[in-house]
Amino acid sequence: MLNQFKSSIDRALSLNPDWKKLRNEWSAGVFPIQVSGIRGVWTALILSKLADLTGGPLLVVTGDEQEAKALSRDLSLFTDRVSTFPWWGTMLYRGVSPQAAIFGKRASVLAELAAGERRIVITSIRAALGLLPPPAEIRKSLTTLKIGGSINPTEIEERLQRFGYNRVPRVSVPGEFALRGEVLDVAPLGVSEAVRIVFAWDDVEEIRLFDPLTQISSESIEQITLHPLREVVWDTQRVEVLSEQLPGEGFEDVLDALKTGRELKGEELFYPLAFRETATLQDYLADRSATVFLDSERLEIAETNMLKEYRELFAAALEQGMEIPSPDTLITSLDSFISARKRRMVSRTLRNEEDENIYSLPCEPGRSFFGNINFLKEELVTLAENGFQIFVFAESESQSQRIGYLLRDLENVQVGPAALSAGFMLSDAKILVIQENEIFGRRKRASSSVARAKSTVIESFVDLDPGDLIVHINYGIGRFQGIKRIKAGGAERDYITLQYGDEETVFIPIEQVNLIQRYIGQEGRKPRLDRIGGTSWEKKKNRVKKSVADLADRLVKLYARRQTSVGYAFPEDDDFQISFEAAFPYEETVDQLSVIEEVKKDMESPKPMDRLVCGDVGYGKTEIAMRAAFKAVIGGRQVAYLCPTTILAEQHHESFTERFKRFPVTVGMLSRFVSPAEKKKVLQGLQKGEVDVVIGTHRILSKDVRFKN
């Protein structure tokens, strides 16, 4: 579907005479260019086309960080050569350091540009106007490793430590590196994957990306460019230049912290003063590169507000006696930034009648349907009858399937997964694009930790650190000491070293790693190490075998009785259920979707359901319960939702009420927070079938709580 969408948009562009003129002038190098009417995904598509015509990187300046992130996501639909250069994300002069990932992301983008990579770089005006190190300084710090190239392990270790990386036994978080024999692992800041470089002697044999948490490789790459974790490395020369350029005295504490390598909050304020000549982001662009300024009127307002904010914060910081440079040393002006590059395009929101040299590429904003599915269907039918092509995009495959089911009877409507920031309409080309938020209301994004959560088994010894307790299937509980390369019988091989009781050591060939697992026992209690040749481990295994056999016997009898029992089979999902699930304001995790399907399958079976759902706080257990409750209500049954505490019952009642408000479902609550009159009303409603879902503490188990169905 996405390919058909792109083809339709290409057709719409080809019908616009202004686009043909703009493209020709861009290719011929006739700049500057002015354009009006572009917005949202339409902007992303046009920029992706212009980037293909550009001989170098394309820099795009937006009004704020949120707009930059949204544009970056939209551009990712059309090209994989997109980077975002972030602003620091903190209030200036407040003594608060930006997140480490921001330092890493900025350094990574500068390294890409300094290395001459052709990319589309999206940035906000705050980040764009900031002064930076000269590109030559960044280029000098780059270290590129290629397959088949040479590597000096000692030299690379020293360089990584100078870059700010910490050496550890095994990388787990960004900013670390591990050098084990002929394997180098590096976890840069600002990216989700680490890099594993395998070499033999001094030759690089393999470079792979891998997940630091699972240690599982994802793909092989030909080369990797390593760079400092931050755009400025405080060596002796940089500190000396800073000392020369600081305004007056009173900065002794700052200089002392930088010389000794201590943490200095707000060190980014001193970056521009560490160089005798500074640069801007445009200085990193090649000659045939271009810069696009989106919504020039908004950029001017943003600059005015930014300067006012910086000056007020600077004055307040001086009153507090802080040692800080002035805003003038940190940023350049928007006028000078724009005029510094002739190869530029400026977009404007509105086009005046007298403006003859502005190319018009208009699109209308997306439409909102406020969760009214019937209204949505009526509008789409009318538009389809008028010859419109309609594309509906959802943020996930599961959401796409739900919306597709709801709109299954409509013609000229295509539904597919793609994370667009917003919909739009091209009236002349008769194309309507709808983003799912415009159907159900504004959606929320789950935290990145939830989105990345994976249920994977521990990957053997890779996840073990020296000193961790392990269990060997033959020898019992021991302590992992590490991996040693031992020469025996004329051959070298790797052995896993395990320590047991009485200071005995066992060397296990690396090929037998499947016999070893991490020890998982009662928290806070350290087990006694087993002895080689002792009987304690065999006795433990025999006791466990007997307990398992007894438990299995009881479970077999229990489940045999359950298999003969008959429960209520709920009907399959209908439009109500699909609409309810589609209105969920977050994207489900893979595990969440799996559990939801299993629960609904249990409910549709005539066998009684026996299922326990486990998960950490914030990982979506309540939504699973809500969907099961909704399915039960639509199937003609009432639902009791038992909570361990009164506070939790109150919270769940609010969540259920908010989630069910668009549907014919009545939610009641029973707890000590409920007044006697309301309690009586809920009890009567349950007995008459007027209350569909009751939420409460153990109060709902009382004898006076009677359900109709």
DSSP H/E element including 479: strand 476-488
Which pLDDT tens digit goes with each residue over 481-519? 888 877 765 666 778 889 998 888 888 887 677 788 888
What is the number of residues in the chain? 709
The reply to whether 56-136+236-352 and 143-226 are identical in fold is no
Structure tokens at 18: 């202004």
Annotate 2-12 with b (16+ C-beta within 10 A) or e (fewer): eeebeebbeeb
Q: Are 72 and 124 in contact (CB under 8 A)?
A: no
- Residue 683 has a pLDDT of 94
Q: How far is it, in rounded angstroms, from Cα 493 to Cα 68?
A: 52
* CATH topology assigned to domain 56-136+236-352: Rossmann fold (3.40.50)
Q: Return the CATH architecture of domain 143-226.
A: 2-Layer Sandwich (3.30)
Structure tokens at 81: 């050569």
Q: Could you give the 3-state DSSP secondary structure of residue 361?
A: coil
Chain centroid, CA 453 distance in Å: 11
- Residue 452 has a pLDDT of 43
Q: How far is it, in rounded angstroms, from Cα 424 to Cα 37?
A: 12
Q: How far is it, in rounded angstroms, from Cα 207 to Cα 196?
A: 6
Q: How far is it, in rounded angstroms, from Cα 294 to Cα 39?
A: 9
- Residue 94 has a pLDDT of 77
Q: Using omega within 30 degrees of 0 as the cis cutoff, is the peptide bond preceding 606 cis? A: no
Q: How far is it, in rounded angstroms, from Cα 249 to Cα 568?
A: 81
Per the listing, tokens 């590490």 go with 482
Domain positions in the chain are 56-136+236-352, 143-226, 364-443, 534-564
What 8-state DSSP symbol labels residue 216?
Answer: -
Question: Which residues in the chain land under pLDDT 70?
Answer: 190, 350-356, 442-463, 488-492, 511, 522-524
